[in-house]
A and B are shown apart, each in its own frame.
Chain A
Amino acid sequence: MLEIDKQSEGWERIVGSTGEPELVLSDYPNFIDGPVWHAGEQCLYFTEGWMNVSPGKIWKWRPGSAPELVLDGCKALGATFDDAGRLVVCGWAGRNVWRLEHDGSATVLASHYGGMRINTPNDVVVHSSGAIYWTDPSRGLGGNGRAADGDDDAQRYLDFHAVFRLWPGSSHLEPVADDFWSPNGLTFSPDERLLYVNDTPRQHIRVFDVEPDGMLANGRVFYEAEADLPGVFDAMKVDVEGNVYCTGPGGIHVIAPDGSLLVRIKLPDPVFNIAWGGPDWTSMFCTALGSLYRIELELPGVPVGKR
């Protein structure tokens, strides 16, 4: 079975008694990220291109086949699908959020706030209303911004690190929470009444109420963990029961809706981004620098894209 620790009551509902992490892809020269499952195609899409060894790419992979290049020469990190099945991508050092259209063209959805370039969008979720929320840390401008090239502007302008919300079908964006040190992963609860956002240097997850107009309120610390092992708070997803899966020190922390740790799942390498997928949404794909692992879990994840 999967290697686990820090179990508490109820952990068997999360992790089964058989199975091991499967290394399904490896040896990518760049950091792979943004894994997201396309149910219609039964493929995993993912991004590559954080380390600026070569231009960034979008890939898609049908388990059992070789990955297929979808787009070359782009800047991309976290990604998800909207309800029309279009890939919505965080541009990281490209300092924008963009969308891959069905015809293969790219549309920039957001790049400036108050006339100034936003920071470096990291991860993104799409609300069922069509509103797009993303995290905007500035780490992509500095030493982590190896996806930048000579054409990029590496100057930080905004004095805050926010979660931004883009109005459905609009170019209007607002920071809906702006007191992060470095926001990273984010995910809605299954009923979209809560938004979880983690903060990598603070080593915690905060949870916000999502108001009917899409604004966030009542931000409070939901979970925190010490750095006892390698690994950082990076991506987060939820299962259909509302348990939060968050990459962190030592592996994937699985946290019940009340904020208590159910179990920590340990993988052979530190993982950065995770995504549900597979025919029943019970597989979890985990990126680890230039590699991709797959683990099988007991509960299905919340599906992405067309609901």
Chain B
Amino acid sequence: MAWDIEHVAGPYEGPADGPVWDGEALLFALVVESRIVRYHPATGRVAEHRRYTGNTTGLAFGRDGRLYGCQTSGQRVVRFDVDGSMSMLAERLDGRLHNQPDDLAVDAAGRIWFTDPAPAPGSGWVPAPIVMEPPVDHASVLRLERDDDGAWRIRRMTFDTVFPTGIALSHDEQTLYVAENPDDGARRSELRAYPIVADGTLGSPTILESFEAGSGVQGMCLDADGDLVACLGSAIAVFSPTGELLEHQPFGPARPTNCAFGDPGLDALYVTAEDGRLCRIANTGRRGLRSNDRSPAAMEN
């Protein structure tokens, strides 16, 4: 059955990304405009939530109910506090700055897993950072977490990626899904499933699917059954946890960047696109998982 794609907000200048349901409305990031806006499905209104976000891209709520984002041009993951301020957490890995965070997922322990690709200058939507000191010499999945003394620190989690972008956690948090999209135009893109071992480190990944160079998965999310809803080229594809293709729905006019379930029943799929549009699909027949809802409204209940 074809999905009915409803265009509900935008277009804006540059891509939209980071859709996340906050319990009442859908927040999403305007990457080039450096804003976060909030779409209310009940009224159809879009309100500005934040400005001057520093090209923040991926968004997620933490275990504390606060909003975290990948501040791409700031080369760090930041937290947007309810009083309107913005805090940086840790920004160095072994004393070095890292690259330009793209997307993130927060686990039940409050640890923030994020992808840290290094786009070639001029290749992406976001201006290349001014290089005043050399960053790390790899592009990996990193994890931000608090030590026993409450200090934030960053750990390197993958040692086999060159350009990770999309990221998602399985509901049982035993698997980390990563979209690996090498930007050399030669190597194939891969949708990978890394097992999360007992000590929190990652085992060797299973390649769920591979794609032609430049044609891989971008952002993705899980539905309540654990299937992966993935932005793939000019389509939304749904994969089973073992990589079986379950659905392939065309999406346009611009390519989808990321997706998330929202609406009070978590039964609408929201999709952000490269032209800044936000779309809503109410008839996927799928829904998000309530217990994964870390939005502030959910945290209060």
Identify whether the interface residues of A are mostly helix, strand, loop, or mixed: loop
Could you say which interface size class chain B belongs to? Answer: 20 to 34
- Check if B86 sits within 8 Å of A150, measured CB to CB: no
B residues within 8 A CB of A143?
A: 54, 73-75, 129-130
Identify whether the interface residues of B are mostly helix, strand, loop, or mixed: loop
B residues within 8 A CB of A149?
A: 88
- Check if B73 sits within 8 Å of A154, measured CB to CB: no
> Counting CB contacts under 8 A, is A51 at the interface?
yes
> Counting CB contacts under 8 A, is A141 at the interface?
yes
- Check if A152 sits within 8 Å of B130, measured CB to CB: no
**What is the distance, in angstroms, from A44's C-beta to the closest C-beta of chain B?**
23
> Counting CB contacts under 8 A, is B84 at the interface?
yes
A residues within 8 A CB of B87?
A: 150, 152-154
A141 to B71, CA, bound (A): 11
- Check if B86 sits within 8 Å of A144, measured CB to CB: no
Q: Which residue of A lies closest to B152 (CB)?
A: A150
- Check if B88 sits within 8 Å of A150, measured CB to CB: yes
Could you say which interface size class chain A belongs to? Answer: 20 to 34
Q: Which residue of B lies closest to A289 (CB)?
A: B132
B residues within 8 A CB of A16?
A: none
> Counting CB contacts under 8 A, is B179 at the interface?
no
**What is the distance, in angstroms, from A214's C-beta to the closest C-beta of chain B?**
29
A residues within 8 A CB of B85?
A: 153-155
> Counting CB contacts under 8 A, is B89 at the interface?
yes
**What is the distance, in angstroms, from B178's C-beta to the closest C-beta of chain A?**
25
**What is the distance, in angstroms, from A196's C-beta to the closest C-beta of chain B?**
24
Partner of A156, one of B52, B71, B129, B133: B52
Q: Which residue of B lies closest to A144 (CB)?
A: B130
A-B contact count (CB 8 A): 55
> Counting CB contacts under 8 A, is B78 at the interface?
yes
A268 to B54, CA, bound (A): 33
Partner of B132, one of A138, A144, A153, A154: A144
> Counting CB contacts under 8 A, is A205 at the interface?
no
Q: Which residue of B lies closest to A93 (CB)?
A: B88
Which one of B74, B92, B95 has the highest number of Cβ atoms from chain A below 10 Å of its Cβ? B74
Which one of A51, A142, A152, A157 has the highest number of Cβ atoms from chain B below 10 Å of its Cβ? A142
Q: Which residue of B lies closest to A154 (CB)?
A: B86
> Counting CB contacts under 8 A, is A118 at the interface?
no
Query: B19-52: which have CB < 8 Å to A?
Result: 50-52
- Check if B86 sits within 8 Å of A155, measured CB to CB: yes
A156 to B151, CA, bound (A): 24
A residues within 8 A CB of B84?
A: 155, 157
Q: Which residue of A lies closest to B51 (CB)?
A: A156
B residues within 8 A CB of A51?
A: 132-133
- Check if A152 sits within 8 Å of B133, measured CB to CB: no
B residues within 8 A CB of A31?
A: 132
A residues within 8 A CB of B86?
A: 153-155
0/1 string, B72-114, CB within 8 A of A gives 1: 0111001010001111111110010100000000000000000
**What is the distance, in angstroms, from A186's C-beta to the closest C-beta of chain B?**
21
Which one of A31, A143, A157 has the highest number of Cβ atoms from chain B below 10 Å of its Cβ? A143
A232 to B115, CA, bound (A): 33
A residues within 8 A CB of B92?
A: 52
B residues within 8 A CB of A271?
A: none
> Counting CB contacts under 8 A, is A148 at the interface?
yes
0/1 string, A149-178, CB within 8 A of B gives 1: 110111111000000000000000000000
**What is the distance, in angstroms, from B131's C-beta to the closest C-beta of chain A?**
9
Q: Which residue of A lies closest to B75 (CB)?
A: A143
B residues within 8 A CB of A153?
A: 85-87
B residues within 8 A CB of A144?
A: 130, 132
A201 to B86, CA, bound (A): 25
B residues within 8 A CB of A150?
A: 87-90, 151-152
A144 to B130, CA, bound (A): 8
0/1 string, A123-146, CB within 8 A of B gives 1: 000000000000000100111111
Query: A13-63: which have CB < 8 Å to B?
Result: 31, 51-53
Known: A150-B152, A155-B52. A142 touches B74 (CB 8 A): yes
A residues within 8 A CB of B95?
A: 53
Partner of B88, one of A53, A138, A148: A148
A30 to B42, CA, bound (A): 52
- Check if A154 sits within 8 Å of B88, measured CB to CB: yes
**What is the distance, in angstroms, from A111's C-beta to the closest C-beta of chain B?**
13
A52 to B90, CA, bound (A): 11
Which one of A53, A144, A154, A157 has the highest number of Cβ atoms from chain B below 10 Å of its Cβ? A154
- Check if B73 sits within 8 Å of A138, measured CB to CB: no
A146 to B92, CA, bound (A): 10
A31 to B130, CA, bound (A): 14
Query: B120-175: which have CB < 8 Å to A?
Result: 129-130, 132-133, 151-152
**What is the distance, in angstroms, from B222's C-beta to the closest C-beta of chain A?**
31
**What is the distance, in angstroms, from B274's C-beta to the closest C-beta of chain A?**
23
6 CB contacts below 8 A, A to B, read A53-B95, A141-B54, A142-B54, A143-B74, A154-B54, A156-B51
Q: Which 7 residue pairs are nearest across A and B when measured between Cβ atoms?
A: A156-B52, A155-B86, A153-B85, A143-B129, A154-B86, A142-B74, A142-B54
